[in-house]
Each structure stands twice: as C-alpha cells, then as structure tokens.
Amino acid sequence: MALAFSSSPAIHGSLSSSHEQSKVGSQFGSFQHLDRPHILSASLNVSRRRSAAVKPLNAAEPKRNKSIVPSAATIVAPEVGDKVEEEDYEKLAKELENASPLEIMDKALAKFGNDIAIAFSGAEDVALIEYARLTGRPFRVFSLDTGRLNPETYKFFDTVERHYGIHIEYMFPDAVEVQALVRSKGLFSFYEDGHQECCRVRKVRPLRRALKGLRAWITGQRKDQSPGTRSEVPVVQVDPAFEGLDGGLGSLVKWNPVASVDGKDIWNFLRAMNVPVNLLHSQGYVSIGCEPCTRPVLPGQHEREGRWWWEDAKAKECGLHKGNLKQDTLNGNGNGAVHANGSTTVADIFDTKNIVSLSRPGIENLLKLDDRREPWLVVLYAPWCQFCQAMEGSYVELAEKLAGSGVKVAKFRADGDQKTFAQKELQLGSFPTILFFPKNSTRPIKYPTENRDVDSLMAFVNALR
C-alpha cells in the first residue's frame, strides 16, 4: 500500500476565483457545506493555532506529492505554551456509537486536519472517500500497492482519482525484501506455509512506514466483515498495533466510521450516490485483496471466505488490523481459552527462524555466562499481551535485519509459572520487557523506553554491541 494524501480541488475552501467556485456549485448541485454546530463542539479539543499553521494539501502547489513521509515532515508543531488536551477516546467512541458515518468522518477530519489520511484498498471502502467529500473538508487518501493486485483494481484506482479529482499516492514494499522472499521461497510459497510472511513484507511493513508520518488514520473496518475476529471494532480508538508521527504507544489514533454499518447498507449508499466501484464486484468478488489470494464467493458464503481460502477461518487476516482482532478470553482477561484441566492455550508470537526460543534452563545459562561469544537481545513476553502482539512485527523485522550480524535475537515466555523468576532475576516489570546481554558483562541491560519501532530498537542494539 502506498500512502496517498489527496484532496479534491472541489472540496477546498481556498479556491482562488469565482469561476472556480461556480464550477464547484455545478459539480455538486445545490449541496451546501454541512451545518455542524453540534459536531464541532469544544469537545473536539483541536489546537486552533496548529490547524491554522498547516497548509491544506494542493492549495498552492503541484497536485501530486512525492511521498507521505516528506509531507508529514512539514507539519507544524504547536508553539511552546500551547496546551493540547488529551482526548478520552474510549469515552468518545461511546458518544459516537450511534452516530452516522458522515458525522464520524467529519469529526475525524476536523480534529486532525492535515495529520490524518484515509486508507483505501480498492474495494467497497471507496465509501470512505465519498463520506469525506460530503463533509466539504480537505482530505487525504493513501493505498498500499503490493505488486500482486488484480488489473481491475489498478484500473479502479485510476477511476477513483479521476472521479474525485484527487491523486492517490502509493506506498510500495521494499524491493530487496520482496526479492529475498521470492528468490528463497518462490512466488507462491503462501499456499504451502501460510500468507502471513508475504503479507508482512508486502503490506504490514509498508503500512507501518506510512503511518509513521501521521497522527491518525481512517479505515473501512466493519464488525460484520468477520464476526469471529472483528466483532468488537470501535468507531474510534488509540491504535493498539501501530505507531504514529510522535512515536511510542498511543501516538496514533484509528477511526473506523463504518464499524457498525452492515455491508448491504454500504452498497445501498454507494448506489444512491452513484459512486464508482471495482469491476471485480460484478464478478462475485466481495472482499478484494491480492490476486493470488482472492477469489469470488458463492451465494450464501461470507465475504471473507474468498480470502486465503486454503487456510483456517481464524487465520483470515493479513495483519493490518491485528490490534482489533477478537481474542479467546479466560474470565474476560484475554489470557486464552480454558480447558477442562484448567490450562490455557494461546497462539504463540515472535515465531520465526531468526528468533531463538529460550527455555528456563536456556535463559538461566545465559545469565550465568561471564564471557559470551556473542551478545543477545531477548524479549520477555506473554503471547496474550496486546502490547507484545503490537510489537511483534517490529521485533521480527529487527531479527531479520540482525541475522548474520553476530547478535543473537531470542524470546522467553515469562508469564505463568515463570513470572516470579522473571521479576526477580530478569528485571521484568511489565510485558514486554526487552533485555540486551553484552558479550563481556554478566548483567543484562534493560531497554528503557516504550518506543518499540525497528529504528529505536536498532539504535539501542548498536549503542551496546
């Protein structure tokens, strides 16, 4: 996916001539700018000074931006002395629970201005762009181009750009990573060992890079898309899986304006507004992804049955919305499913050949060594912990980057029976805890911050090895 920030000239309030203004009127008929006194209340907590400092996209520059990252880098921060109140997003989600997608979209765009973008996949989430247009506000759009999309999807991107007078700017996967994956495992390895590795390279990592240039993003997630995994998606939340421009946990806000909308109502809206749609929809496709991993569904089948059809239903997620996936719970605490003997089972994480899984004797031996042959980086984790899950992608990517560098990367499951030991001997305070074991020191060094992105972790390793 590539990050595209776009806004149609027809929806900017900064048009330069009456001729251009008359063009807007003819394009939208008698449509007037939304009356939203009930929406734009003091509860928005918007920093007015900051909003005024941010220049609307395309206002007086060429339409096409070269990259989301340079665009984000020009954002003006609040002046010293400005006080930006923190928003209680759980409370806001409850307040907006019964709000219309249009009202939610309007609040999101009003609150974050130039710091927010719509994620567009080329499927029915084109509705998000239509809602954004109807607010009358400038808006940005981005998409990820995996290199494996259907020809119809690429044509649809072009149609959407022309229809709305916008430019979608795309974020692509890293060419070296794609080349290494294809050379080592072939073009269709996901049919044999699952789609997660390919999605991580082609989708998750590009998305992570894109979101680092934002403070909020807008998605087309709906509860009815996958009742088994998305049934608890809120309309707005602090993103539990990705980091934003400021870095660290809580630095990115995720808006899901159509979370509570049924799929059939989305389609009624698209038809009523005469919105262009992907030609694949007329061929039986409902949920649309990459060409090798998507197929039409039969009448009566759920839309997600057309995605990764060769895998178990519980695996039908690519990782872009991992933080929203519903987990099996034990007494409501998210610790796993309970069996008759009282034990729990949870899918393990950090599962890759580049990460060594340490047993209790293994990490005890590592602690005892006075002169190690190589340094070790170890994460103390619990697979049910949402913060451990959120950093999985970064830690796996870090392990791949450090492969062959002389630094061993490992994990130690420190919950359950091992928690007391980890607290006493391994400085465990909360999950995850990351430790660096130097070559010539007995005491491990604890990673001091909550910034768990790849660059921050790599800087920590490089400073100590």
Q: Which helix (H) or strand (E) holds 142?
A: strand 141-144
Q: What are 31-80's pLDDT values in tens digits?
A: 334 444 343 333 334 333 333 333 333 333 334 444 444 343 333 333 43
Asked if 318 and 292 count as a contact pair (C-beta separation under 8 A), the reply is no
Q: What is the pLDDT along the chain (465 residues), one digit of tens a residue?
A: 444 445 444 433 333 333 433 333 333 333 334 444 343 333 334 333 333 333 333 333 334 444 444 343 333 333 434 444 578 999 999 999 999 999 999 999 999 999 999 999 988 899 999 999 999 999 999 999 999 999 999 999 999 999 999 999 899 999 999 999 999 999 998 888 788 889 999 999 999 999 999 999 999 998 877 555 556 789 999 998 899 999 887 899 999 999 999 988 999 999 999 999 999 999 988 889 899 998 887 776 767 677 877 775 554 445 454 555 444 433 333 333 333 333 334 678 998 899 999 999 999 989 888 778 899 999 999 988 878 888 898 999 999 999 999 999 999 999 989 999 999 999 998 899 999 999 877 789 999 988 888 999 999 999 988
pTM of the model: 0.57
Domain 356-464 adopts which CATH fold? Glutaredoxin (3.40.30)
CA torsion through residues 360, 361, 364, 365, sign: negative
SS3 assignment, position 237: strand
Task: For residue 208, give the H/E element and its range.
Answer: helix 205-211
Give one DSSP letter per residue of 342-400, joined into a string. S-EE----S-STTSEE--HHHHHHHHH-SS-SS-EEEEEE-TT-HHHHHTHHHHHHHHH
Q: Which residues sit opposite 255 in a β-bridge?
A: 218, 236
Cβ neighbors of 271 (< 8 A, separation 6 or more) are none
With left for phi above 0 and alpha for psi between -120 and 50, is residue 416 left, alpha or beta? left
pLDDT at position 71, please?
41
- Write the burial class of residue 69 (CB in 10 Å: 0-12 exposed, 13-18 middle, 19+ buried): middle
Residue 226: per-residue pLDDT? 57
Residue whose structure tokens are 């996916």 = 1
SS3 119: strand
Q: Where are the beta strands (DSSP E) in 263-362?
A: 337-338, 344-345, 356-357
CA 422 from centre of chain: 31
The two tokens of residue 122 are 């080329």
Residue 339's pLDDT is 32
188-205 in b/e burial notation, b at 16+ Cβ within 10 A? eebeeeebbebbbbbbbb
Domain boundaries, the chain: 9-272, 356-464
Residue 441 CB-density burial (10 A; 0-12 exposed, 13-18 middle, 19+ buried): middle
Q: Which of 313, 291, 290 is nearest to 303 (CA)?
A: 313
Q: What are phi and psi of 101, to 5 degrees?
A: -55, -35
Distance CA 126, CA 260 (A): 17
**What whole-number distance in Å separates Cα of residue 267 and Cα of residue 270?**
5
Tell me which residue of 29, 46, 54 sits closest to 106, measured CA to CA.
46
Question: Domain 9-272 maps to which CATH number in 3.40.50.620, 1.20.120.140, 1.20.1250.20, 3.40.630.40?
Answer: 3.40.50.620
Nearest CA-CA partner of 154 in 267, 319, 290: 290
C-beta separation of 317 from 300 below 8 A: no
pLDDT at 296: 87
State the catalytic residues: 385, 388
Backbone angles phi, psi at 378, to 5 degrees: -130, 130
Give the model's pLDDT for residue 135. Answer: 96
**Smallest Cα–Cα separation from 54: which of 176, 215, 211?**
215
